[in-house]
Structure 1
């Protein structure tokens, strides 16, 4: 098959580029062709591309993209000229220009859309005026026309039905996956602590995601403030690019005199990212809304015990397999979760082992990527 993924394929975009990267590696191994079409703006850093795939960057349109960020005339022109060269177009997310443009063109090419959690009630209500405008113009109509809608969990099936008013006829539940082999050889313990001057006698709590309010930072920050009063031997590391909440985060740290207890270290990649996961006594993401969190999958794959909300995309599986500690969306619940997990070494060790077994059996990338390729095959129209 000739596959075209459309996504903002940059480090700043969060989880979808990593998902595409891992799926592309598997698709190439099965002999498929993969191109990635991405809008971008100056200053953004493209995500790595698997060897054998092709990244096509298209500049966002000035002025318009200030209000509707993904709009790109170059992207539209590329599709207009080349859409017929592909067997399937896979759009990631909703309300992006790249999710709309393919439907304006060749109706003969199969089109897939992955929701990525954006129809969750919390996510949908954020910036709703833009979404309502795009819905009226096209998005609902185009989603109805999609050959395939990929969702990550059963909650998204309900979100999709609520949004459309009926159940789309071709929905497939395929979770995100993680390449377990990427986390077999981690940097030696202590590497991250040494680089960032974190004392060895302090427990390290790691938050690694975009600094966005939807990630639950407004819950985590006051929860950790209260926790560290009684447990000053603990440090919270906030690792991630700014996505609208860094200024508020830094203001909170300053106002609460937490500069020695909370560190903002920016986006971590490569060995720095793995070193942070290797050194973490606890990974946390009390998020309000996730399609299926790659950050949590990677933390689990690295062996870091996890304290997360049940909104990370696979909360029921985490609960069933005792693969992490789940918290409610309140500072008090997060505070209690910190207390419970950080005071019990045996509990954290058992959660880590349970998470590893869960990932190997259900979320290894080779398993889930093959399921997506099989779903493609069912909707791709044979050539005349």
Structure 2
């Protein structure tokens, strides 16, 4: 697998933590697929109490070198000085620098280092330049965008987006970027090969074989807008066999709000929280469900939607999810963030339970290591590397 020309690639991110959602998973999977194809990959990573470095959760390729040090400052504007100093010293050996996420000093100094050391850099913005993110601490975001982020965009070769929707919502940055590179996120489907039947997964997880299960798998975060899902589950007036399962590491404040809402709606016995599942257990939970639901305000891609499709489980999402572009309508239903429409959709799928429908190789090949490696090599070649 791979091409004749091999590249030396630096991948930089604030953290590589199983608590961090899709961004660290995407970083790790990009590193693994490029390393497996024979490219030299070095990770530059931060470590903090809130987002601890957990390499064992990402099964990194043995050839990948990792520089990790303590991050300082509050999350979002954090900085990893020792790791960035390593990046500065090592930059001449790298062909390209990938920076992950924005609104943080790690990406800012990474961009400045790339300019100083005359090495091309790309920012995988992870939709952080999108409209939704400008509603969070809006005054600060305006200041940072017109200072730090404009400098970032000037320093780097371009921004990496994963879907057309991400470019549309990131218009502020897109119109200033020198180049826009669209490549989907890699999705490691090793744990989803030959998924179990719905019945087998329910037996494995000790679930009701005849129940109706709606699952959200991912961080329990404000951005995921799970209050819409909880209310829809209540408003749809489902039978006693229906259960909502929220799987993933919680943001404590958001989980507390959801627990309060669940109590107000009298759903305590019908909603389950599971803080973490890994590996093949992710496939079991998705395969066991009748429906994967994500009423997100903003997901630049959503690896879990692809994993759900690989498990044979139908997806119900908001329009603000990049993965929509890559899945056929037989595998995904999209509803606007209107409560009544989500109420109707949850009720409809209760009465019309989607059969397990595993996505075809034609769909999954869009995210295969071979395909993604080819996309990136073509991009490097177009950059003159």
TM-score (norm 1): 0.88
> Residues of 2 paired with 1:233 and 1:82: CA distance?
58
Segment drifting more, 209-218 vs 142-151:
142-151
Shift of 1:343: 1.9
Q: Among 71, 86, 108, which residue is 2:118 paired with?
A: 108
Instruction: Find the counterpart in structure 2 of residue 52 from structure 1.
Output: 63
Alpha-carbon spacing, 1:342–1:144, altered in 2? closer, same or farther (3 Å)? farther
Are residue 132 (structure 1) and residue 136 (structure 2) matched?
Answer: no
Alpha-carbon spacing, 1:68–1:338, altered in 2? closer, same or farther (3 Å)? closer
Segment drifting more, 288-297 vs 40-49:
40-49
Q: Among 348, 351, 362, which residue is 1:343 paired with?
A: 351
Q: Among 266, 272, 281, which residue is 2:275 paired with?
A: 266
Shift of 1:139: 1.4
Shift of 1:271: 2.7
Whether contact under 8 Å (1:103, 1:142) holds in the other structure is: yes
> Residues of 1 paired with 2:197 and 2:166: CA distance?
39
Whether contact under 8 Å (1:307, 1:325) holds in the other structure is: yes
Whether contact under 8 Å (1:204, 1:234) holds in the other structure is: yes
Equivalent positions of 1:290-309 (< 5 A) are: 290-309=299-318
Structure 1, gaps ≥5 residues long = none
Instruction: Find the counterpart in structure 1 of residue 27 from structure 2.
Output: 20
Instruction: Find the counterpart in structure 2 of residue 378 from structure 1.
Output: 382
Whether contact under 8 Å (2:99, 2:111) holds in the other structure is: no
**CA deviation vs aligned residue, 1:208-259 (integer Å, no higher than 9, x gap):** 01111211212111111122x3322110000011124111111112222212
Q: Among 81, 94, 104, which residue is 1:96 paired with?
A: 104
Are residue 221 (structure 1) and residue 225 (structure 2) matched?
Answer: no
Segment drifting more, 274-283 vs 18-27:
18-27
Segment drifting more, 66-75 vs 230-239:
66-75
Instruction: Find the counterpart in structure 1 of residue 151 from structure 2.
Output: 141
Alpha-carbon spacing, 1:245–1:192, altered in 2? closer, same or farther (3 Å)? farther
Instruction: Find the counterpart in structure 1 of residue 4 from structure 2.
Output: none
**CA deviation vs aligned residue, 1:309-352 (integer Å, no higher than 9, x gap):** 1211133554x64321111102211111112223224xx238x3
> Residues of 1 paired with 2:121 and 2:158: CA distance?
7
Segment drifting more, 34-43 vs 217-226:
34-43
Q: How many residues are paired up?
A: 371
Give the match's secondary structure for 1:172: strand
Instruction: Find the counterpart in structure 2 of residue 322 from structure 1.
Output: 330
> Residues of 2 paired with 1:256 and 1:118: CA distance?
33
Q: Among 137, 154, 174, which residue is 2:183 paired with?
A: 174
> Residues of 2 paired with 1:107 and 1:261: CA distance?
56
Q: Among 2, 10, 27, which residue is 2:17 paired with?
A: 10
Shift of 1:83: 2.1
Structure 2, gaps ≥5 residues long = 1-6
Segment drifting more, 372-381 vs 288-297:
372-381
Segment drifting more, 150-159 vs 88-97:
150-159
Whether contact under 8 Å (1:26, 1:370) holds in the other structure is: no
Give the match's secondary structure for 1:260: coil
Instruction: Find the counterpart in structure 2 of residue 289 from structure 1.
Output: 298
> Residues of 2 paired with 1:279 and 1:33: CA distance?
39
Give the match's secondary structure for 1:12: coil
Instruction: Find the counterpart in structure 2 of residue 37 from structure 1.
Output: 44
